Structure 1
Amino acid sequence: MRRNPREAEESNRQLNRRTLMLGGAMGAMVAVLGVRMRYLQVEQADEFKLLAEENRISIRLIPPDRGLIRDRSGKLIANNEQNYRVVITREAAGDAELVLRRLVRVIPMTPEEVERAIEEVKSLSAFVPVTVAERLSWTDFSKVALNAPALPGVTPEVGLSRKYPLDTDFAHVVGYVGPVSEKDLEGLQSPDPLLRIPKFQIGKIGVEKWMEDTLRGHAGTKRIEVNSAGRVMRELERQEGDAGADIRLTIDAGVQNFAQARLGTESAAVVVMDVSNGDIICCASAPSFDPNLFVRGISHTDYKVLMENDHRPLANKTVSGAYPPGSTFKMVTALAALEAGVITPETRVRCPGYIEYGGRRFHCWKRGGHGSVGLVRSLSESCDVYYYDIAQKVGIDKIAEMGRRLGLGQRFDMPMSAITEGIMPDKQWKLEKHKQDWRIGDTINASIGQGYVLTSPLQLAVMTARIASGRAVAPRLVRMVRDQELPVPEAPPLEIPPEFLAAVRGGMNEVVNGDHGTGKSSRVVDPTMIFAGKSGTSQVRNISKAEREAGVISNDDLPWNRRDHALFVGFAPFDAPRYAVAVVVEHGGGGGAVAGPIARDVILRAMSDGLPSLEAYPSSQRGRIESMLKELPLRDPETGIVPTKTET
């Protein structure tokens, strides 16, 4: 059936409209796709390029060089040495255990080290390198490189490791580094990514720990190409980080070494302090230990020896040891009484050898007593009864307040571990600590540095420096950071009348230089180095009434750990104080006989360019002193090595 022309025309118009609509829709779709393709390929090109690279590019950290530590004159105390090590990658090794067995034939490794390496290799991902040997000699390092074809997956590498060239001299001050542990990460909200690097080492104690952020530096980065398994293919780019800052301490390495050698086998501590600015010139604790053992991974045997030593070589006695100060505390009681106006320098007290209070006798060290005693003689001959008497008049609160002004009962802000605050007790302290009221007997005991009073050698050195200078000088251990001298604020005056300080210093002068002084064996005859000080002997056991009546047992007849502590504090030169010193010898016996000579020798070394001159000593002592100085195991000032007896 034929359509008429009108129907055909209408049908063509509808077809044309549909064609145009379909073509328009298709054109619009093509346009949208074009715009989208342009957006993805042009405007988003960088983003997709980055995403693609992240599938094959890995950014890894480069550990920075650790900052060096030097003494006040620039001598190296802690440095970094090349560490020749060997690593193995299980992915490249194939049978890693077999390869390790072969490696033993090339370099020395104990069976325990091999087993430990095998366990670590098995526990980590196949592409992670594991260190199996460190601190190899150049010969062994070369052997590994030469035998590389027979040791697939084994790679010799060169890194840096911490070394302490003066080992035992600075172990307690500088400390040591060790691998990061979970305990180290506890409490850190945003730990440095460096701390996540396997076996990365950080400071564990001492300056190494407390100045970790300064010494560590900032990591560098390297871009490396890895395959789909994560194995490194090549290094594409490297950006070095910032090395840690170098630090210079206030300590003089020569004085420090002399003090360590002078203490010998004693369980003891010495602190020498510059009275003008607080610089710690010496901070020696004995016995000491070799911190290099901890860096390398101390053996169970070596650690057990240190832990079982009753002289506690791991403890830094200079700042963590808390001891009854004994008679070295008498200057505190005297100054408190002078300032309170209950005595003058001329006030006299009769000493019959004891006082009685509350049905109890408090004895003087001199059984027959000292007779009539004034301030200067009470210090020079260390009369206990004089201080029992004046302490009751002034009271413990004023004594404690004076003690705190002189630096006792304070924790000083220094980059060292386990700094004790000590105890400077008063009435409120006992009430809070023991829930008991303070008693007169407590005051009597405290007046001579016994009872609840506890101090550290550092605090005693500060106390002595403040008495010598008349200023509230504070100790400092760091002199320079990045070659920049750290500012030293001027110490404020103690606001103790100068005549009172002069009276106490005069008594300390008589201790050493008077005919009857308890420290006369520590006399210095060089007029430019006159030494003044105060001896102290603190009891560590109770003396019964029966023993006192029969005669107190000599320290020499007691077991070592039941003997009295020996203490001595002093300063020099007397007319123009420069250095203060404090010495504590645990269970050493008499302070004047044992601690005093050590204090005298160390402070003379601090005032000299080298060993103390024999002319500084009384002529009667020079022969003995000369022999003693020759026997000291001192380091060579150039090499830092302690010569053996055969070498000397």
Structure 2
Amino acid sequence: MRPATIIEPCLGTGRGARQTARMNAQRDKKQRAVFTRRAMIIGGSQVALFSALTARLYEMEIVDHSRYSRLARKNAVSERLIAPERGLITDRNGIILAGNRQQWQALFLMTAASDPAATIARLERIVSLSPADRARLAKLATGPIHFLPILVKKDLGWDEMARLEVHRPSLPGLIIDRGFRRFYPLGPLTAHPVGYVVRPDSADAGREPVLALPGVRVGGSGIEKSANAALFGSPGIVEDEVDAGGAVVRVITRRPAREGHAVGLTLDAGLQRTAAGALNGRPGAAVLIDTSTGDLLAMASAPSFDPTWFDDGVPDHVWRRWTSKAAHHPLTDRATGGLYAPGSSFKPTVALAALEAGAITGDTRFFCSGHMKIGNRIFYCWLRSGHGSMDVASALQQSCDIFFYHVAMRTGIDRMAAMARHLGLTGREALALPNVAEGFIPTRRWAKQRQIDWTKGDTAVQGIGQGYTVLTPLALAVMAARIGTGRAVRPRIIRTVGAVERTHPAATTLSLSDRHLALVRQGMAEVVNTPLGTAWGARLALRGARMAGKTGTAQVIGESAEMEAENYNDAELPWQDRPNALFVGYAPLDRPRFAAAVVIEHGTLLGPVKIARDLFAAALSRRRLAYGDESRPA
């Protein structure tokens, strides 16, 4: 029986082992399953991460290669703009009227320095700076970061450049570069037509980064302003290699700036010098025009100013001197912007208006007793004893006021105004200069709009170039050119831009009667070339050439009836109350090639005649009268 007892437990133990083995197997299976899932998750994550890294590397190395290449380059390369050199302005013979003087300047790029204020402080210890420069740099050092170079000092000497080069490693952002300064060889002689340059205003500099560069200037007046787009040029670009501290190591590439176009003017520097010298600082203007082309050969205004002051800004003491009462407005271009009552220089226009309208003929005569009554007022002639019987030629010759009072009332103000427009006295010419004033002659419509009760006396006064009538010396020169040639001469001052000549329309005929023009020309010839003429004392004494013209005096104060009745002496008045003196004319007499207009404020009768005579003599002598093949109809 014992064996049976022994076998039972053995059987039980076998089942337990098998059960335990099955349990272990199941547990191992579950553990393998868990491991497999974790491995798959980890593996998938690794694949996903690797794929993302691969994709990003592809994007960086292939897709965005150029972008990151530029970013990496910027860590070592700094790009900056170079200001262009301004184009030259020359006279008709290539003489420089506005040029550039090269200078070396120290610039500072704030973005290249970790501590701009400290760098500026070191710069101030190395080079001597004016108080104005120090104040400017101190303001910049405490202000916002500038991304364009700022000017430290211009016109560096060699010793200053050497000191800066020695200290360059401790001056991150320092740039030594070439700059230009505008200069005007003839200075005040051409200041008004050529103009000056100024710093761009902040609004323009904000829109155009190149305008914020140190040394950049734009036109402020004259040709500098009207031709600024052609003169300015295009900026260049420099790539500098910089070290970790921002100091410039070397220039990698330089794309030079493109210089502005040269602008060639019609002015003749020699004749301009003659005109300005003849004015000799007296307030007034002188204009000389080539009647065959309309070229303005001389256009002087006095007093004048030195245009180089404007490059850096006019100092207070200079500005106060210019704007003082004793200075007589030197900044005003009297040739194109001065409006003057023309006085008797307007009489040729009145004569042509009357002849063309049929109000008078060449045989019409009026008697001058020295005065006449119009309405309830007495009108006087400049010659109180009277001229006697006058026709149109003799009235021009002796400048008889009474004759032209009669003529003006017969013709009417509207016809006189229309002839003035026809002769170029009013209306705006397409002249390449800013701020050209437009002359004015009243009309009945103008008077009605302003509720002015227009009378015969008003018309009579306009007939001798007084009253509301105001004209510029430029317009008066155009009038003389048109009467002398019978063609619609149009003035111009720019001949070439770059190598391209500016086209200028040929002058068309005025469509005026040759007979009427001949009568007016006869009177203007007798003004200068006969003893009774008002300009006889300053006639042109050049062999083979004579000039024609018309003098004028224009009141600048209102004359009371008592003053007129007493026939007061102008020369006894205070200088500022004396009449202006004018002259218009052309030469040579038979084949006019030049026309001129001269105004001297509060001057004597023959003063403007002498200036015009000298201009004609200089122009004819310079040309050696070689105009036979080029002359236009007389």
TM class, shorter-chain normalised?
Answer: 0.7 to 0.9
Please tell me whether residue 414 in structure 1 is matched to residue 434 in structure 2: no
| Offset, 1:345 | 1.4
User: Paired residue for 1:382?
Assistant: 399
1:104-183 equivalences in 2 (<5 Å): 104=128, 111=131, 114-123=134-143, 125=145, 130-135=150-155, 140-143=157-160, 145-146=162-163, 149=166, 153=171, 157-182=177-202
User: Paired residue for 1:80?
Assistant: 100
1:44-79 deviation per Cα after TM superposition (whole angstroms, max 9, x unaligned): 322333344456544321111111111101111111
**What is the distance in 2 between the residues matched to 1:370 and 1:575?**
28
User: Paired residue for 1:222?
Assistant: 238
| Offset, 1:259 | 1.0
| Offset, 1:360 | 1.0
User: Paired residue for 1:265?
Assistant: 281
**What is the distance in 2 between the residues matched to 1:474 and 1:545?**
42
1:184-583 equivalences in 2 (<5 Å): 191-225=207-241, 232=248, 234-308=250-324, 309-432=326-449, 434-552=450-568, 554-583=569-598
**What is the distance in 2 between the residues matched to 1:130 and 1:25?**
55
Please tell me whether residue 601 in structure 1 is matched to residue 614 in structure 2: yes
Match of 1:512, SS state, is helix
Counterpart residue type for residue 580 of structure 2: H
| Offset, 1:126 | 8.9
**What is the distance in 1 between the residues matched to 2:50 and 2:122?**
63
1:449-468 deviation per Cα after TM superposition (whole angstroms, max 9, x unaligned): 11111100000001111111
Contact 1:168–1:290 (CA under 8 A) maintained in structure 2: yes
**What is the distance in 2 between the residues matched to 1:150 and 1:235?**
18
Contact 2:181–2:215 (CA under 8 A) maintained in structure 1: no
Please tell me whether residue 70 in structure 1 is matched to residue 90 in structure 2: yes
| Offset, 1:429 | 2.3
1:76-105 deviation per Cα after TM superposition (whole angstroms, max 9, x unaligned): 11111122444567857837557636644x
| Offset, 1:495 | 1.0
**What is the distance in 1 between the residues matched to 2:40 and 2:130?**
85
Contact 1:141–1:156 (CA under 8 A) maintained in structure 2: no
| Offset, 1:227 | 6.8
Contact 1:93–1:99 (CA under 8 A) maintained in structure 2: no
Counterpart residue type for residue 168 of structure 1: P
Q: Relative to structure 1, is the Cα distance of residues 183 and 532 closer, same or farther in structure 2, using a 3 angstrom cutoff?
A: farther
| Offset, 1:486 | 1.9
1:180-234 deviation per Cα after TM superposition (whole angstroms, max 9, x unaligned): 123666xxxx944311224421111111111111001111112335578866554
Q: TM-score, normalised by structure 1?
A: 0.84
Match of 1:342, SS state, is coil
Counterpart residue type for residue 184 of structure 2: Y
**What is the distance in 2 between the residues matched to 1:424 and 1:310?**
30
Match of 1:94, SS state, is helix
User: Paired residue for 1:94?
Assistant: 118
| Offset, 1:128 | 7.2
| Offset, 1:293 | 2.2
Match of 1:524, SS state, is coil
Match of 2:395, SS state, is helix
| Offset, 1:111 | 4.8
Q: TM-score, normalised by structure 2?
A: 0.85
Counterpart residue type for residue 535 of structure 1: T
**What is the distance in 2 between the residues matched to 1:516 and 1:182?**
62
**What is the distance in 2 between the residues matched to 1:228 and 1:567?**
72
Higher mean C-alpha displacement, 416-425 vs 454-463: 416-425
User: Paired residue for 1:624?
Assistant: none
| Offset, 1:324 | 0.3
Q: Relative to structure 1, is the Cα distance of residues 134 and 39 closer, same or farther in structure 2, using a 3 angstrom cutoff?
A: closer
Counterpart residue type for residue 100 of structure 1: E
1:329-366 deviation per Cα after TM superposition (whole angstroms, max 9, x unaligned): 11111111111111111111122222222201222111
User: Paired residue for 1:59?
Assistant: 79
| Offset, 1:173 | 1.0
**What is the distance in 2 between the residues matched to 1:251 and 1:404?**
25
**What is the distance in 2 between the residues matched to 1:229 and 1:148?**
16
Match of 1:607, SS state, is helix
Counterpart residue type for residue 557 of structure 1: E
Match of 1:605, SS state, is helix
User: Paired residue for 1:632?
Assistant: none
Contact 1:605–1:611 (CA under 8 A) maintained in structure 2: no
Counterpart residue type for residue 74 of structure 1: G
Higher mean C-alpha displacement, 285-294 vs 146-155: 146-155
Higher mean C-alpha displacement, 581-590 vs 196-205: 196-205
Q: Relative to structure 1, is the Cα distance of residues 170 and 121 closer, same or farther in structure 2, using a 3 angstrom cutoff?
A: farther
**What is the distance in 2 between the residues matched to 1:543 and 1:224?**
73
Match of 2:622, SS state, is coil
Contact 2:148–2:213 (CA under 8 A) maintained in structure 1: no
1:417-462 deviation per Cα after TM superposition (whole angstroms, max 9, x unaligned): 3210121221222334x34343322211111111111100000001
**What is the distance in 1 between the residues matched to 2:147 and 2:377?**
78
Q: Relative to structure 1, is the Cα distance of residues 236 and 164 closer, same or farther in structure 2, using a 3 angstrom cutoff?
A: same
Larger Rg: 2
Match of 1:288, SS state, is coil
CA RMSD in angstroms, aligned pairs only: 3.4
Counterpart residue type for residue 577 of structure 1: P
| Offset, 1:502 | 1.3
**What is the distance in 2 between the residues matched to 1:415 and 1:266?**
26
**What is the distance in 1 between the residues matched to 2:513 and 2:624?**
37
